[in-house]
């Protein structure tokens, strides 16, 4: 697997908090007296600067392959793990699961929140978390399969439907 220092201009990468982005430049900048090299990421009309030295630490990574997407689909189709019933305990559980920001953890969280939504109504916080994580997953799914976000969203929703 490529490390963040191997990325080139024109590549799509995944920022753990913002989703899929294109590297539009690699530039040197001087900030606070320090000269550093930055990846310049473009996504949804935003520009984000990521220091090359800290890209791995931040969690910048390549977009998944179609083969890896197949393993994510297996996770999404697997039986949901029940989340805590107590609101505070569930929020802590979700926060813990989000700290990693791995695609596997995010997929498990989508599966589990979706499973909870089937059995009971989600509160606003859980609904917002599910929506945000789905947006990240859909963005990467679309790029991995070279399809539109709308098609990726349809495929995700079809995957999450109980059989």
Q: Of 87, 100, 99, 129, which Cα lies nearest the Cα of 112?
A: 129
Using DSSP, state whether 18 is helix, strand or coil: coil
Determine the CATH number of domain 66-160: 1.20.58.1290
What are the pLDDT digits (tens) for 34-47? 899 999 999 988 99
Tokens 């530039």 appear where? 27
121-139 in b/e burial notation, b at 16+ Cβ within 10 A? ebeeebeebbeebbebbbb
Which has the higher per-residue pLDDT, 32 or 56?
56
Q: How confident is the model at residue 6 (pLDDT cuts 50, 70, 90)?
A: confident
Domain boundaries, given as residue ranges, for the chain = 4-62, 66-160
Instruction: Provide the whole-model pTM.
Output: 0.85
Q: At what angle do helices 124-145 and 66-77 cross, to 10 degrees?
A: 150
Question: What's the confidence (pLDDT) of residue 136?
Answer: 92
Taking a C-beta distance cutoff of 8 angstroms, is the pair 60, 14 a contact? yes
Segment 140-148 mean pLDDT: 95
**Greatest CA separation for the chain:** 58
d(CA 13, CA 7): 8
What are the pLDDT digits (tens) for 49-89? 999 999 998 889 999 999 999 999 999 999 999 999 999 99
Sheet holding 46-51, edge to edge: 46-51, 34-43, 19-31, 12-15, 61-62
d(CA 105, CA 76): 11
Determine the CATH number of domain 4-62: 2.40.10.170
Averaged pLDDT score across all residues of the chain: 91
| Per-residue pLDDT at 117 exceeds 70 | yes
Residue 105's Cβ-side half-sphere holds a number of Cα atoms within 13 Å equal to 11
């Amino acid at each position: 697997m490529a490390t963040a220092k191997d990325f080139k201009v024109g590549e799509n990468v995944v920022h753990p908090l913002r989703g899929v982005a294109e590297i539009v430049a690699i530039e040197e900048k001087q900030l606070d007296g320090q000269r550093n090299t930055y990846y310049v990421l473009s996504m949804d009309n935003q520009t984000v600067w990521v220091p090359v030295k800290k890209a791995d630490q931040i969690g910048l990574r390549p977009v998944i392959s179609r083969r890896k997407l197949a393993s994510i689909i297996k996770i999404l189709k697997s039986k949901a793990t029940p989340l805590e019933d107590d609101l505070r305990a569930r929020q802590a559980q979700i926060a813990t699961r989000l700290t990693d920001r791995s695609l596997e953890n995010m997929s498990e969280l989508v599966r589990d929140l979706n499973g909870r939504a089937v059995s009971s109504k989600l509160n606003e916080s859980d609904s917002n978390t599910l929506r945000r994580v789905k947006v990240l997953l859909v963005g990467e799914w679309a790029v991995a399969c070279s399809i539109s976000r709308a098609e990726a969203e349809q495929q995700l929703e079809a995957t999450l439907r109980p059989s």
